[in-house]
Amino acid sequence: MCSTYHRRCNAPPVTPTSARPTYDPEFFLVCLQLFATSGRISLDELARNPTKPRRKPMTTLTFRKLGLAASAICLFGLAGTSQAGHTNHVLDAKLSGAEMVGSMGDSDGKGYAHVFGIDGDPTTLCYVVQVDNIQTVPVKEGMAAHIHEAGKGMNGAPVAMLAGPEDGDAADCLTEGEEGKFPTGETGIVQRILENPSDFYINVHNPEFPDGAIRGQLMGPHSM
């Protein structure tokens, strides 16, 4: 059922505006959200409304290995039925300012995230983060997002550096050993996140709320 979008997800990247390749984000989010919702949202519904409501259109998302991940997701045809040998774990998080601990968050802010692994690669973690009703600025001006290690109601150090959702959306794949991506340098951190989601949360920072505008505990997993 994903064959129509498989061709689109495999489309060549558009002309890059930076050193990182740039892909069409709408098509990737169709594939990624289809995967992340375990088929709870139909392909037709995603085609009509591929992303959650945002304040402004998504125009400048950049992707690196996410292109390969999205293509692989569509290749497996994950439209609601589990595939033999497919063992990806999908984690979800609902972010809000009310979830901040020890500092005030943005009371109007909200967001969603999906975090998942890739078959056959236990050291790679992929994600999609969407935020709304918070200040968004370029990463170089203070937009940031991290996965922190701590349970609900507690604060912890960051263990994975995510892309700042400077346009309201961010997505990427991180692999252990990449410079600056997993600050603790811990081997096996990806599997720890996937296997113990309630021990980790996502925090989004901006200049208005440098300690964190919105936060959400990881939940799951459900398997595909």
Which pLDDT score, from 0 to 100, does residue 220 have?
Answer: 82
Which pLDDT score, from 0 to 100, does residue 196 have?
Answer: 94
Q: pLDDT class for 31, splitting at 50, 70, 90?
A: low
- pLDDT averaged over every residue in the chain: 71
The residues pairing with 24 across neighbouring beta strands, listed in sequence order, are: none
141 part of a folded domain: yes
186 part of a folded domain: yes
**DSSP state, residue 126:** E
Rounded to two decimals, the pTM is 0.68
Q: pLDDT class for 33, splitting at 50, 70, 90?
A: low
How many Å apart are CA 23 and CA 203, to the nearest integer?
25
4 part of a folded domain: no
35 part of a folded domain: no
92-106, 112-126, 168-182: the lowest-pLDDT one: 112-126
The residue segments making up the domain with residue 134 are: 90-217
How many Å apart are CA 46 and CA 150, to the nearest integer?
33
| CATH code for position 188 | 2.60.40
CA-nearest of 98, 107, 91 to 37 is: 91
Q: Are 181 and 160 in contact (CB under 8 A)?
A: yes
How many domains, the chain? 1
Pairing mode, strands 144-149 and 200-205: antiparallel
Summarised one tens digit per residue, pLDDT across range 61-112 is: 333 344 444 444 443 433 333 333 445 567 889 999 999 999 999 999 999 9
128 part of a folded domain: yes
- Higher-pLDDT residue of 45 and 4 is 45
72 three-state secondary structure: helix
143 part of a folded domain: yes
62 part of a folded domain: no
